[in-house]
Each structure stands twice: as C-alpha cells, then as structure tokens.
Amino acid sequence: MMWKRDLEIIDCHAEDEVGRVIVGGVGDIPGETMFDKKLWLERNDDELRRLVLLEPRGAVWHNANIVLPSNHPDAQMGYIIMESTEYPAMSGSNTMCVATVLLERGIVPMAEPVTDLTLESPAGLITVRCECRDGKVTSVRFVNQPAFNYYRDAVVELEGFPGLRVDISYGGMTFVMVEAEDLGFALNPSEARDLCDLGEQIKLAAAAQLPVSYPGNPQMPGITNLKFMGPLRSEGGVLTAKNTVVVSPGRCDRSPCGTGSSARLALMHARGDLKVGQPFVHESITGTTFTCQIEGLTRVGAYEAVVPAIAGQAWIYGFSRAVLDPTDPYPAGHALADTWFDLSNLAG
C-alpha cells in the first residue's frame, strides 16, 4: 500500500491535557522561523492538522505538535502547535509534552538530574528545565515569552449579562478573563458543559467588541480563548486558585493551561496580587496543578509585561502511526455537533 500520509506519533498528556507529538512523516515545511512555518501550514496544508485532530482519527479534546529542526542557533529543536480550530503561537501543556517526548525517546540527549533545553515555538524561544530520573522526565518548567494585559476591567455587552466585566490578557494566546463567581460558577466538573456554552458566547462577544493587535506582529491571532477564574486563596502561605479555560469549539482544557496561567500572572501582578518570584499554584477543573511564578518584568510595545515560568509534568501513554489511504473519504477529517458542539469556527 502506498499511503498518501504516514505519520509517526507519540501520544502524551500534560496534567491531563492531551498533546500528541508527531516525530516523523511530515517532511520539510517552508519557512525560516516556526511562526513562518505555522503560517505556511495554515495557508497551504491544513489537511494535516484536520487529519490528526478531527474524526475519525482524533477527538475534540486532542492537541498535536509537529517536531521540526529549528534554524535558530540557540534552539535544539522547534515545534508547531495544532489545536481543533487554530495554530496557537504557544501552549504550555503542549510544550511539556514536546520536551518530555524529545528527552524520553532520545531525540535530544537527556542528562540527569537536570536537562536544560531551548525550544523554538511560533511565539519565540522557550527555555525549558527538565528534572529527570531513571530515564523519566519528572518535571518540566518553562519560561514563557512575556505576558501582558490588553484591557483591564473592560465591559462586554452580552444578552442576559449586561455590563459583564472582563479583562483581556496575552500569555502566548489571547484570553478573555472572567471571575467565575460573578457568573455563579464554582468550577466543578459537573458545570463543564454550561461553562463551555457561556464561555463561547462571551468569547465571541469580546472578540467583536474589544479589538486587540499584538505589538509588532499583526498576524498574531486575536482573542481565541476564555478563562474562568476562581477566587484566590492561601494554602500554607502559598497563593492558589482554580480555573478552567474554554477551548474552541467548546470544551474545557483538562490542564491548568500554561498560556492561561501566564495570562493570569500578568493580571495578578497588575492587580497587586502577586509579586516577582512569589509562587502561585494554579488548579484545573480536573484537579491537576501547575506551579507558577513571575521571573521578571519587561515591556511588549506599549504594554507592561511579566516573564512567566510554569512547571508541571507530562506522561507518554502510547505510540501510533496515522496513515492516509488515498481512497479514504475523510482525508481532512470531519466533526459532528453531538461532541464538537459549535462547528462554525472549524477551519476547512
């Protein structure tokens, strides 16, 4: 059989969020940087993303990453992130999956007890510190590109929720940030469907009413995610809080979300709730956690920004090959509203 595509995939999750890692079969993707390569895929070969993530081979809660050589002299490897409806510039859980796969599968040499990596994401260089023991990556801590706030205490008009207060923050993706208690949510797993239904409505309204443009790069996507934030509390002197991010087309991130955590660090610092170097534990709707802190302060264009550091763990759980028979009627996958809910923003 001459397959049209033949992809080698390592299945991985980071604190419960699936991040499949494609390590072979893609070939060369044109572009000097990972951002260039992601744009090329979006415009010229989106079938690859749909093949892996949509049905019958994928599922709405899956993400995927393509591991590629980097042209940057400081990076050991690069990666492109693919989700159900977009190619994010950055993803924390996916970065943890990529780093774990690179080291545990010997693609990049592992040194115990600590391996330091520099990876090129579409958002830029990401420095990663992996704690390793007996061939296993036991912790992945990455320093993200700077996070900042576009809007604080802005108002979004939504039918049934007049004058809804929101913040808009960037942490690798751009998030609408809302207080869960303001909308009557406790962020329990039983609320997940209602959180997603309302979250998608707020996200669309915010994107229409509150324009954003990333400084120096107008091709960076605007608002694509929504974060419901639980209240801050202190446990043993450490700040902690629950959250969930609504990922399009309408499902909850199973992890605490690395880019969402970065965006929340920027908001917490602007509010005076978190100092540089102070630890913060972010909990997901499933109960998993990331340990976060602000490494330093900087600026992105006109915006004051923080440098976030996020730590968690990823686990390899399977190995597979995704092949495409030339006669297969679903070369770009498909989706049904019984599980994908909102199909309007699925590309293709």
The set of residues, in sequence order, having a beta carbon less than 8 Å from that of 302 and lying 6+ positions away, is 215
Contact 302, 215 (CB under 8 A): yes
Q: Where are the beta strands (DSSP E) in the chain?
A: 5-14, 17-18, 20-24, 64-68, 77-82, 114-121, 124-133, 136-143, 147-158, 161-170, 174-179, 223-229, 233-235, 238-247, 251-252, 280-283, 289-300, 303-312, 314-324
Contact 241, 232 (CB under 8 A): yes
Alpha-carbon gap, residue 126 to 75, rounded angstroms: 9
Contact 264, 177 (CB under 8 A): yes
Angle at 244 between CA 240 and CA 247, to 5 degrees: 150
Alpha-carbon gap, residue 107 to 212, rounded angstroms: 38
Alpha-carbon gap, residue 45 to 30, rounded angstroms: 11
Contact 34, 68 (CB under 8 A): yes
179 strand-pairing partners: 229
Distance set, CA 85 to CA 61, 145, 274, 321, 347 (Å): 11, 22, 33, 23, 6
Alpha-carbon gap, residue 224 to 203, rounded angstroms: 7
DSSP β-ladder status, 251-252 and 238-247: antiparallel
Tokens (6 digits) for 184: 């009557």
Alpha-carbon gap, residue 76 to 147, rounded angstroms: 24
Question: Tokens 């929340």, residue?
Answer: 264
Show which residues are catalytic. 91
DSSP β-ladder status, 174-179 and 223-229: parallel
